[in-house]
Amino acid sequence: MTDVQQAALMESTTPGLVVAVEARELRKHFKVPDRKKGRFGRKTRVALDGVSLTIARGETVAILGQNGSGKSTLVRLLSTLLLPDGGSASIFGHDVVADARAVRRLVNRVSVEASFFKKMSSAENLSYAARYYGMTSGQTRDRIPEILTRVGFPKDRRGESMENLSRGMQQKVALARALLTSPVVLLLDEPTTGLDPRSKLEVQEFIREIRTAHDATILLCTHDLTEAENLAERVGILDRGRLLVLEPADELKRRYGAATLEEAFFAATGREFEAEGDEDDDDDREVFA
Ligand SMILES: Nc1ncnc2c1ncn2[C@@H]1O[C@H](COP(=O)(O)OP(=O)(O)O)[C@@H](O)[C@H]1O
Ligand SMILES: [Mg+2]
């Protein structure tokens, strides 16, 4: 943890109170085109409809939801990439709107569409990120190779440009980048979606390791029921912008009298949990954040 992060944490944490992430009645809507209303017609699409949750320091919470249920919107709001239309959220007591700078120091987001300088290598991308976060070259010299080794990134490919790497490898670099600055809160937005089974297991193993070694608080949005069950202390179901439940997987199953998480999901939402890679209704999106 850096001094700045430590300071940001100290300001906010009262002893005994260890709330890392808090959302209260969080709302977000988007104006999207509505062709029924003519060429310039618009309608409101509700992405988050009053989501409240609390995540304790050191806890891992998984959020399960279909495509379009609001997972990425939640992650973007918590990482200050979007502004809420209602409600509030805070990270270690720092409001994501009023105190966005402090929040950015504590939070790191890894998303499916991780962005890199495609012509640069993994090591170059990491050192760019390190400089952006104010690390000195002395600090990064050992840290970058060390962290790439820890995510299982092969030594002989570190000079290769990002665009030549598989999705699995790119995702490992994205995780390595997130860990570089030892974030206190990790927001993982479908970190294993689209990965082959082996890379998926490697990334999951790595997430497990981060939990224990880094004292990180993790919000894991996922499409993978097993991943949610194996990695998280509590599992939430997000459906059409509403968080229906958030509790340990066993209690969740018990609540719905379900043998599996998939059955519980069906019981909670009235809908099948669709397989990864099903169509997204993202065509009329206007901004990508
Ligand atoms: N920038 C945007 N512009 C318009 N609609 C958006 C935008 N971002 C998300 N949405 C809509 O909000 C809803 C929730 O999206 P999202 O948070 O991406 O869901 P998920 O990550 O669970 O697939 C979807 O209906 C999506 O189309
Ligand atoms: Mg998403």
| Ligand 2 centroid – CA 135 distance (Å) | 30
What residues are neighbours of ligand 2 (ion), with CB under 5 Å? 71-72
Higher per-residue pLDDT: 95 or 282: 95
* Beta carbon of 64 within 6 Å of any ligand 1 atom: no
| Ligand 1 centroid – CA 70 distance (Å) | 6
- Whole-model pTM: value is 0.86
Average pLDDT over residues 127-151: 85
Average pLDDT over residues 20-39: 94
Average pLDDT over residues 215-225: 91
Q: What is the reported pLDDT for 9?
A: 64
Q: What is the reported pLDDT for 10?
A: 61
| Residue partners of 283: CB distance under 8 A and separation at least 6 | none
In-domain check, residue 168: no
Domain count, the chain: 1
Torsion of CA 75, 80, 85, 87, to 10 degrees: 80
Q: What is the reported pLDDT for 284?
A: 43
The pLDDT confidence band at residue 279, using thresholds 50, 70 and 90, is very low
Provide the residue range defining the domain that includes 38: 3-115+182-269
In-domain check, residue 288: no
pLDDT at 58 over 70: yes
In-domain check, residue 141: no
| Residue partners of 178: CB distance under 8 A and separation at least 6 | 108, 109, 110, 186
Whether the CB-CB separation of 68 and 45 falls below 8 Å is answered with: no
In-domain check, residue 124: no
Higher per-residue pLDDT: 116 or 77: 77
pLDDT at 165 over 60: yes
Parallel/antiparallel/unpaired status of strands 60-65 and 217-222: parallel
In-domain check, residue 285: no
Where is mean pLDDT largest: 9-13, 63-67, 210-214? Answer: 63-67
In-domain check, residue 209: yes
| Ligand 1 centroid – CA 30 distance (Å) | 8
Lookup: tokens for 111: 């998303």
In-domain check, residue 155: no
Distance between CA atoms of residues 200 and 210, nearest Å:
15
Distance between CA atoms of residues 252 and 246, nearest Å:
8
* Beta carbon of 73 within 6 Å of any ligand 1 atom: yes
pLDDT at 12 over 80: no
Kindly give the number of the ligand 1 atom that is closest to the alpha carbon of 241: 14
| Phi then psi dihedrals of residue 213, to 5 deg | -80, -25
| Ligand 2 centroid – CA 8 distance (Å) | 29
Higher per-residue pLDDT: 4 or 19: 19
The pLDDT confidence band at residue 275, using thresholds 50, 70 and 90, is low
Q: What is the reported pLDDT for 249?
A: 97
| Ligand 2 centroid – CA 71 distance (Å) | 5
Distance between CA atoms of residues 151 and 240, nearest Å:
34
pLDDT at 46 over 70: yes
In-domain check, residue 129: no
Average pLDDT over residues 26-48: 93
pLDDT tens, residue by residue, 80-117: 999 999 999 999 999 999 999 999 989 989 887 778 89
Q: Residue 75's domain is classified under what CATH number?
A: 3.40.50.300
* Beta carbon of 285 within 6 Å of any ligand 1 atom: yes
Full 3-state SS string of the chain = CCHHHHHHHHHHCCCCCCEEEEEEEEEEEEEEECHHHCCCCEEEEEEEEEEEEEEECCCEEEEEECCCCCHHHHHHHHCCCCCCCEEEEEECCEECCCCHHHHHHHEEEEECCCCCCCCCEHHHHHHHHHHHCCCCHHHHHHHHHHHHHHCCCCHHHCCCEHHHCCHHHHHHHHHHHHHHCCCCEEEEECCCCCCCHHHHHHHHHHHHHHHHHHCCEEEEEECCHHHHHHHCCEEEEEECCEEEEEECHHHHHHHCCCCCHHHHHHHHHCCCCCCCCCCCCCCCCCCCC
Torsion of CA 203, 254, 52, 14, to 10 degrees: -80
Which residue has the CA at smallest separation from atom 5 of ligand 1?
A: 285
Q: What is the reported pLDDT for 277?
A: 57
Distance between CA atoms of residues 166 and 60, nearest Å:
27
Q: Return the minimum-mean-pLDDT range out of 27-36, 53-62, 117-126, 177-186.
A: 177-186
